[in-house]
């Protein structure tokens, strides 16, 4: 691994991550924007917020989890009714055990949802008590599920897609690091800000240390984001990448941490997202293809999100800079 030794650059000390390289592992931020951290030392129930987990869960997984819990709860109650005795449920067909349990299961679902068609009804104190508790639990469960649905539906999100790769490209007679973002929903984002921080391993007194540097951007703020935005860090004498080659990038442990904040006009609230790029996700000698164009009558602009990651290979300009790596 090449070791970065540009110690004259101004460091960013406010990243929230430690500087001891031997105490951290992997990337700091995952591509989905979540910190790459596993927490220990507390119990499982204290380690996770179930509310944050349910709100942040993918839609398909969330719906599947609700359905599985619903089925399991009703199987549990059906088992309780079966152990009490199906003779305490009026209207049950006792000729076939499988059909008997199936009818008890569907009675449980009707009780849990408080539908209560009436064909099967409980008789006896114990069965009635269990069905009463199940109906109460069903009301609470559907209230919680409704709250979760509303929370997921109303939670402000930025709805931005990032390019899979960051590029080192020719730029105004020199080179620049760049990546691309684009909104993929019909939300309106204004006052968009981006911050780009570079994490790199450096050697001090024979010890590997993680250092963080703010990267200057061509534009770090735009008034509105309706189309794609290519975020550019010019590689000049003030850049940590000045003098680097493609082999230097491949051999150095780099992570580019991206922070984006915008104002959502519908929610009247700030929305935030993060992502990161590591060395293997930086492509040398490429540029992004244009991803928007006018429609046929030139009355509207078409933003093709399928072209977000489309790139062309380009020839890089020769550089006479002194290499920054050992």
Q: Could you tell me which residues come within 8 angstroms of residue 153 by beta carbon, excluding any fewer than 6 positions away?
A: none
In a domain, 186, yes or no: yes
In this structure, are 283 and 302 located in the same domain?
Answer: yes
Range name among 28-32, 80-84, 245-249 with the lowest pLDDT average: 28-32
In this structure, are 199 and 85 located in the same domain?
Answer: no
Q: Which of 128, 154, 180 is the last residue of a domain?
A: 154
In this structure, are 161 and 148 located in the same domain?
Answer: no
In a domain, 29, yes or no: yes
- The CATH number covering residue 83 comes to 1.10.287.70
In a domain, 3, yes or no: no
d(CA 309, CA 280) in angstroms, rounded, equals 15
- More confident: 316 or 319: 316
In this structure, are 65 and 94 located in the same domain?
Answer: yes
Compute the mean pLDDT over every residue in the chain, rounded to the nearest whole number.
Answer: 86
In this structure, are 171 and 272 located in the same domain?
Answer: yes
Give the pLDDT score at 136.
95
In this structure, are 167 and 300 located in the same domain?
Answer: yes
Give the pLDDT score at 163.
95
Give 80-95 pLDDT, tens digit per residue. 999 998 888 888 877 8
Domain count, the chain: 2
In this structure, are 136 and 25 located in the same domain?
Answer: no
Domain residues for the domain of 62 are: 45-154
Report how far Cα 41 is from the mean position of its chain's Cα atoms. Answer: 25
In this structure, are 134 and 191 located in the same domain?
Answer: no
Q: Which of 90, 120, 154 is the last residue of a domain?
A: 154
Give the pLDDT score at 4.
57
Q: Could you tell me which residues come within 8 angstroms of residue 176 by beta carbon, excluding any fewer than 6 positions away?
A: 168, 169, 170, 218, 232, 233, 234, 235
SS3 content of the chain, % helix, strand, coil (to 5): 30, 30, 40
SS (H, E, C) 231-254: EEEEECCCCCCCCCCHHHHHHCCE
Mean pLDDT of 238-267: 89
In this structure, are 139 and 199 located in the same domain?
Answer: no
In this structure, are 235 and 174 located in the same domain?
Answer: yes
In a domain, 249, yes or no: yes
* Per-residue pLDDT band at 43 (split at 50, 70, 90): confident
Give the pLDDT score at 324.
37
Q: How far is CA 295 from CA 288, 292, 304, in A?
A: 21, 10, 11
Q: Could you tell me which residues come within 8 angstroms of residue 205 by beta carbon, excluding any fewer than 6 positions away?
A: none
Task: Tell me: pLDDT of 5 over 60.
Answer: no
In a domain, 8, yes or no: no
In a domain, 166, yes or no: yes
* Per-residue pLDDT band at 51 (split at 50, 70, 90): confident
Give 60-76 pLDDT, tens digit per residue. 999 999 999 999 999 99
Nearest of 152, 187, 151 to residue 266 by alpha carbon: 187
Range name among 4-8, 247-251, 309-313 with the lowest pLDDT average: 4-8
In a domain, 324, yes or no: no
Give the pLDDT score at 18.
60
- The CATH number covering residue 163 comes to 2.60.40.1400
Q: Which of 113, 129, 154 is the last residue of a domain?
A: 154
* Per-residue pLDDT band at 129 (split at 50, 70, 90): very high
Give the pLDDT score at 15.
64
Mean pLDDT of 220-248: 90
Give the pLDDT score at 248.
86
Give the pLDDT score at 153.
86
In this structure, are 149 and 176 located in the same domain?
Answer: no
In this structure, are 277 and 168 located in the same domain?
Answer: yes
């Amino acid at each position: 691994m090449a070791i970065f030794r540009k110690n004259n650059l101004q460091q960013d000390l406010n990243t929230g991550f430690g500087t001891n390289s031997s105490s951290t592992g992997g990337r700091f931020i995952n591509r989905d924007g979540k910190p790459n951290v596993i927490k220990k030392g507390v119990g499982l129930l204290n380690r996770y917020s179930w509310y944050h987990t349910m709100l942040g869960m993918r839609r398909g997984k969330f719906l599947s989890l609700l359905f599985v819990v619903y089925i399991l709860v009703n199987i549990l109650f059906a088992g309780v009714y079966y152990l009490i005795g199906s003779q305490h449920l009026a209207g049950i067909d006792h000729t076939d055990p499988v059909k008997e349990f199936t009818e008890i299961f569907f009675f449980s679902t009707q009780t849990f949802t408080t539908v209560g068609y009436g064909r099967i009804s409980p008789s006896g104190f114990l069965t009635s008590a269990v069905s009463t508790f199940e109906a109460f639990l069903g009301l609470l469960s559907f209230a919680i599920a409704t709250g979760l649905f509303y929370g997921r539906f109303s939670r402000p999100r930025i709805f931005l897609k990032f390019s899979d790769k960051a590029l080192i490209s020719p730029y105004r007679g020199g080179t620049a690091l760049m990546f691309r973002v684009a909104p993929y929903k019909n939300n309106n984002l204004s006052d968009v800000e981006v911050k780009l921080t570079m994490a790199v391993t450096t050697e001090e007194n024979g010890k590997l240390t993680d250092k963080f540097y703010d990267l200057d951007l061509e534009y770090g703020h735009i008034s509105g984001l309706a189309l794609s935005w290519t975020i550019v860090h010019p590689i000049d004498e003030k850049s940590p990448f000045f003098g680097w080659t493609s082999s230097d990038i491949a051999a150095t442990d780099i992570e580019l941490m991206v922070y984006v904040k915008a104002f959502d006009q519908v929610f009247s609230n700030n929305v935030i997202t993060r992502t990161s790029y590591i060395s293997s996700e930086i492509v040398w000698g490429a540029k992004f293809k244009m991803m928007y164009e006018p429609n046929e009558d030139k009355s509207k602009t078409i933003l093709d999100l399928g072209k977000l990651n489309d790139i062309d290979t380009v020839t890089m300009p020769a550089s006479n800079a002194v290499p920054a790596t050992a």
